[in-house]
Amino acid sequence: MHANNIHNGSYDFETLIKTHTPLENFVFVNNFSTKTIDFSNNLAVLHLNKALLKHYYQVTDWNIPNGYLCPPIPGRADYLHHIHDLLDTTKVIKGLDIGVGSNCIYPILASQLFDWKMVGADINETAVNSANENIATTKKLQENIEIRHQQLNANLFKGIINTNEYFDFTMCNPPFHSSEKEANTGSLRKVKNLDNQMSSKLNFGGQANELWCNGGEGLFIKRMIKQSCSFKKQVGWFTCLVSKSENLKNIYKQLTKAGATYKTIDMNQGNKKSRFVAWQFVD
Ligand SMILES: C[S@@+](CC[C@H](N)C(=O)[O-])C[C@H]1O[C@@H](n2cnc3c(N)ncnc32)[C@H](O)[C@@H]1O
């Protein structure tokens, strides 16, 4: 984890339960005499998130519609801390999250961690409505965050970035699977890894649109790179998470073709390795 990430240590469940009592129902002591929750149980993760957002980020009433993606907060915060390292933060920072989701997690954390101004965009109407509901709960979120509805599936920046508008950075956690079947298999594997045994329940968070798109993350990022060329003067850094390292080779090829300068930032969260690619167009 990034050195500044407050989630570097293990969860302090005692304190978190004091902040958000319903979490108590999901905390148990495991075989290593450690307090934990069942991370494959969406309801348990939902209440852990509510507690974390209340305790560390002063967001008192965060929610997501049933079945929508329930994000692990430490990893989401990590991406923002690494973006922070790319920026000149002596001035007011304005960021854009492509695919903000119903959880609106990146704009919320960016607002509460750094007081950044954020725009969150999504194609999914339920996501847009739920993101707006999450913002409505807290005055500071209302001041810092705006949600915009992307009308065209094929577009990422067009229709969202206005003429003469400037963003210091864009970020994105793209839908990574290439089919619904692959998304289901991937989620089952995730539950299996967590439980260390095959689980019969497919209790993952995430609606189809959140988890997959035609061509998977490879094609999504290819589109993003191509479309970023039309906004090169309006964005300081374009960034995007890449969950499959085998996609990097093609991404580098596309970035070179587009004439962008780029770097890859590796992130380690426990035993999970992830990364994002950041690119810009310098004259
Ligand atoms: C993996 S989810 C990420 C949600 C949230 N940012 C998170 O990290 O938990 C991907 C999101 O991208 C959205 N999306 C897909 N295509 C899009 C597009 N062309 N423009 C904006 N959002 C899009 C989906 O609706 C979904 O909410």
Kindly report, residue by residue over 138-147, the tens digit of the pLDDT.
999 999 999 9
Report the separation in Å between the CA atom of 175 and the middle of ligand 1, taken as the mean of its atom positions: 6
Of all protein residues, the one whose alpha carbon is nearest to atom 13 of ligand 1 is 99
Fold of 68-280: Rossmann fold (3.40.50)
Query: pLDDT for 110-167, tens place per residue?
Result: 999 999 999 999 999 999 999 999 999 899 999 999 999 999 999 999 999 999 999 9
Tokens of 66: 């049933």
CA of 29 to the centre of ligand 1 (A): 35
What is the pTM (predicted TM-score) of this model? Answer: 0.92
Q: Is the CB of 99 under 6 A from ligand 1?
A: yes
Q: Which residues of 115-260 form beta strands (DSSP E)? A: 117-122, 145-149, 167-172, 235-241
163-194: per-residue pLDDT in tens?
999 999 999 999 877 767 676 665 545 545 54
Residue nearest to atom 8 of ligand 1 (CA): 173
Confidence of residue 197 (pLDDT cuts 50, 70, 90): very low
**Cα 89 → chain centroid:** 21
- Give the confidence band of 210 by pLDDT, cuts at 50, 70, 90: confident
Q: Is the CB of 100 under 6 A from ligand 1?
A: yes
In degrees and rounded to multiples of 5, residue 137 shows phi and psi of: -75, -20
For residue 210 and ligand 1, the question of a CB distance below 6 A is answered with yes
Please report the atom of ligand 1 found closest to the CA of residue 152. Answer: 19
The pLDDT assigned to 189 comes to 53
* CA 146 to ligand 1 center in whole angstroms: 16
At residue 177, the pLDDT reads: 74
Give the start-to-end residue ranges of the domains of the chain: 68-280
In 3D, which of 42, 41, 50 has the Cα closest to residue 21? Answer: 50
Express each pLDDT in 69-86 by its tens digit.
Answer: 899 999 999 999 999 999
CA distances (Å), origin 49, targets 44, 53, 54, 209: 9, 6, 8, 22
